[in-house]
């Protein structure tokens, strides 16, 4: 059973460009969570999605950031007009439909904004 997959693993963007990060959950998992981690810091929750629904986006910046989890295909975290402060590791986690909702993390996407 393949784990959580994320791509790309590394992404370099110039200021003002768009970044698209993809996450495919583990087979059988319908819950997806996005977290951001700055160097030497902990994980900060951004958004929690189920298929076609955003359940909790309380950790998502109000502007430039959006997320989706369509019926078909991976979850996408989109950052428009990136700034240097967006440079971080972005981790996706998935959990199964039923409890105890253990979250399994993907390898992350390391975004560098030049």
Partner 1 sequence: QQPVQSPQAVILREGEDAVINCSSSKALYSVHWYRQKHGEAPVFLMILLKGGEQKGHEKISASFNEKKQQSSLYLTASQLSYSGTYFCGTDKNSGYALNFGKGTSLLVTP
Q: Is-contact 1 101, C-beta < 8 A?
A: no
Give the nearer residue to partner 1 in terms of CB position, either 13 or 90.
90
Give the nearer residue to partner 1 in terms of CB position, either 95 or 113.
95
CB of 3 to partner 1, least distance (A): 9
CB of 22 to partner 1, least distance (A): 15
For residue 18, the tally of other CB atoms under 10 A from its CB is 11
Interacting residues with partner 1 (CB under 8 A): 31, 33, 35, 41-45, 48, 55-56, 59, 91, 95, 99-108
Strands, E, within the chain: which ranges? 5-7, 10-13, 19-24, 29-37, 43-50, 53-56, 65-68, 75-79, 88-96, 104-105, 109-113
Which residues are paired to 6 by β-bridges?
A: 23
Give the nearer residue to partner 1 in terms of CB position, either 18 or 56.
56
CB of 57 to partner 1, least distance (A): 10
């Amino acid at each position: 059973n393949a784990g959580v997959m994320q791509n790309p693993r590394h992404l370099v963007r110039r200021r003002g460009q768009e970044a698209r990060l993809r996450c495919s959950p583990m087979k059988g998992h319908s819950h997806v969570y996005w977290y951001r981690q700055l160097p030497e810091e902990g994980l900060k929750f951004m958004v929690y999605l189920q298929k076609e629904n955003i359940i909790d986006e309380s950790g998502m910046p109000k502007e430039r950031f959006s997320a989706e989890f369509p019926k078909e295909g991976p979850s996408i975290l989109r950052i428009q007009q990136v700034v240097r402060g967006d440079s971080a590791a972005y981790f996706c986690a998935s959990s199964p439909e039923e409890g105890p909702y253990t979250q399994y993390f993907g390898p992350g996407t390391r975004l560098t904004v030049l």
